[in-house]
Structure 1
Amino acid sequence: MNNLANKTSIKNNKHEINKKDKIKILFRRHGMALVLLAMVVLMTVLSPAFLTTRNLMNVVRQISVIAIIGFGVTMVIITTGIDLSSGSVLALAGVIATSFAHPNQYPLIVSIIVGLLVGAIAGSINGAFTAFGEIPAFIPTLGMMIAARGFALIFSDGRPITNLSESFEFIGGGYFLGVPFPIYVMLLTAVISHILLKHTKFGRYIYAIGGNAQAAVVSGINVRKYLVLVYTYAGLLSGLAGIVLASRLSAGQPTAGVSYELDAIASAVIGGTSLSGGVGTIPGTIIGALIMGVLNNGLDLLQVSAYWQQVLKGAIIVGAVLLDKKKNR
């Protein structure tokens, strides 16, 4: 009888342990999605205006620019790097692209290509200094943040560039099938970025570099080449975000995008991208951006002071990093 009781007790204990492990695994894999769901439910209870089609569309449209930047930043962080220049590159790409977007001047594709090229060139410079200069990414991207903002102010003479064509303004302000066009741009960018990261050699090498750069070199991966490519892609997406934002504002603003790089980094980290490198996903970054967007929108509806909003955002970022450290431990 005693042996039977002991066996039953051991079996029950194993069942409890397995149950706890399953809960931990569930939270580790889908924790931020559950947090987002809880926030949506809470905001719906606190403000009936939150869960309306118009407001939800507005939330997604507001986070579209940050999410686009965040996809590139996610890849950079996976390699254990950082990109502080995104907001300034966005502004520079925006003012240069809008200078080619006046009515009856150039085809729409010209302004788009110019904006993307500006972003890609800035990103490639970041990557070259990081890879070949062998200095922490913090330094060249900080320098680019300052320089790109300066170039944006010089190019525009410190004034917004206005008088844009209707086709250009549609990119950020138009609707297709009742959905704001920036959402389509964000989703298309997310799909392309996800495929690159999860289903190509490029993506596998990014994870390998972030996991162990020295081992990646020994395995025959051209680490410098792929670091340059990663930063170039991040810059390209900053350029795209600059086009979308300039279109939405109906002007190329040299002061646009201030602190956007911090919001993009926060979205990636909240979404599960590890600052230690080697871990991160595009869907996770979308969830992180949505958490930031729901928080901002919900607090606005509740008429919470913008100052307190900054405090809460900071607390969430620190909490996400602490959670990341705990998971990696």
Structure 2
Amino acid sequence: MSITNNQIFPGLEPLPIIVPLIAAIAACACIGLINGFSVAKFDLHPFIVTLATQLITYGIILIYLKLGTNNGQTLSGFDPGYRDLVTGTLFTIAGVKVPMYVLYAIILVVLMWVIWNKTTFGKNMFAVGSNKEAAEVSGVNVHRTIILVFVLAAVMYALTGFIDGARIASVNANTGLNYECDAIAACVIGGVSFVGGTGKISGIVIGVLLLQIIFTGLNFLSVDQNLLYIIKGLIILVACAIDMRKYLAKK
């Protein structure tokens, strides 16, 4: 299987799927490395660092899409093999087709559960998130752990972006815009604390499912799409307020 869209790789022969996937992972890992190094070495706030690199990356993508004859148009016309790898039918339940990307989501969830619960790196993540100073005193390499966390997150972004490109059959500079809000809302609903040291993979999965059920139901009720942004913002605000109240109560 190959990706044949010459808009992406102008002048090149069709490339095997693994090549652009590796390129996406490498590019995202580099950005994650920059983010992690900035946070670990210079003690910058993670939100500010990731916001800055998000804007820089967005600008680079806009410039890239203007190159050649593409003139900023949406990239489409992907190889059917690439799309089938993601959107092909995994199995059918009562006449409803379950796509392949459900399997990939399950694999990634299991992988992260193993990393979080069964590896030294996972334990170090929890220790650094709970109390960075205490983790350092306990012998944890805090700087390396923070950098690896950002790199791991970036690799996951690459994988999900690669999958989402096939799912929607086209990509442009706005693909994935505001997805970070969905991720934040799902994590907070699932019990992940903004102050660190609290959260489980199972809770995040439940948060994702609950959020998806909420917005699927709202779409089914024909709620205005613009109103959904307001509802999403309120969910994040309320969830964060509850999280902070629990944190202050523990103190």
The TM-score normalised by the length of structure 2 is 0.86
Alignment of 1:187-206 (within 5 A): 187-206=106-125
Task: Give the secondary structure class of the aligned counterpart of 2:15.
Answer: coil
How far off is 1:174 after superposition? 1.8
Q: Which residue in 2 is equivalent to 1:271?
A: 190
Instruction: Decide which of 123, 141, 144 is 2:32's aligned counterpart.
Output: 123
Task: Give the secondary structure class of the aligned counterpart of 2:14.
Answer: coil
Instruction: Confirm whether residue 230 of structure 1 aligns to residue 149 of structure 2.
Output: yes
Q: Which residue in 2 is equivalent to 1:312?
A: 231
Residues 103 and 163, structure 1, Cα contact 8 Å, conserved in 2? no
Change (3 A) 1:102 1:210: farther
Q: Which residue in 1 is equivalent to 2:17?
A: 108
* Distance in 2, Cα, partners of 1:102 & 1:236: 28
The one-letter amino acid of 1:170's match is D
Task: Give the secondary structure class of the aligned counterpart of 1:275.
Answer: coil
How far off is 1:295 after superposition? 1.1
Residues 184 and 236, structure 2, Cα contact 8 Å, conserved in 1? no
Give CA-to-partner distance per residue, 1:190-238, whole Å, 9 cap, x none: 1101110111101100110011101111111110001000000111111
* Distance in 2, Cα, partners of 1:140 & 1:314: 22
Residues 101 and 164, structure 1, Cα contact 8 Å, conserved in 2? no
How far off is 1:326 after superposition? 3.3
Residues 171 and 181, structure 1, Cα contact 8 Å, conserved in 2? yes
Residues 36 and 147, structure 2, Cα contact 8 Å, conserved in 1? yes
C-alpha root-mean-square deviation of aligned residues, in Å?
Answer: 2.1
User: Which consecutive residues of structure 1, in runs of 5 or more, have no partner in the other structure?
Assistant: 1-95
The one-letter amino acid of 1:162's match is S
Work out the percentage of aligned pairs sharing the same amino acid.
Answer: 31
The one-letter amino acid of 1:235's match is A
* Distance in 1, Cα, partners of 2:104 & 2:73: 27
Q: Which residue in 1 is equivalent to 2:57?
A: 148
Q: Which residue in 2 is equivalent to 1:215?
A: 134
Residues 152 and 254, structure 1, Cα contact 8 Å, conserved in 2? yes
Residues 24 and 158, structure 2, Cα contact 8 Å, conserved in 1? yes
Instruction: Confirm whether residue 251 of structure 1 aligns to residue 165 of structure 2.
Output: no
Q: Which residue in 1 is equivalent to 2:84?
A: 170
Instruction: Decide which of 180, 188, 201 is 1:261's aligned counterpart.
Output: 180
Q: Which residue in 1 is equivalent to 2:212?
A: 293
How far off is 1:139 after superposition? 2.2
Residues 268 and 289, structure 1, Cα contact 8 Å, conserved in 2? yes
Change (3 A) 1:321 1:102: farther
How far off is 1:99 after superposition? 2.7
Relative contact order (C-alpha < 8 Å, sep 6+): which is higher? 1
How far off is 1:165 after superposition? 1.3
Residues 187 and 208, structure 2, Cα contact 8 Å, conserved in 1? yes
The TM-score normalised by the length of structure 1 is 0.67
The one-letter amino acid of 1:278's match is G
How far off is 1:138 after superposition? 2.0
Give CA-to-partner distance per residue, 1:34-84, whole Å, 9 cap, x none: xxxxxxxxxxxxxxxxxxxxxxxxxxxxxxxxxxxxxxxxxxxxxxxxxxx
Q: Which residue in 1 is equivalent to 2:95?
A: none
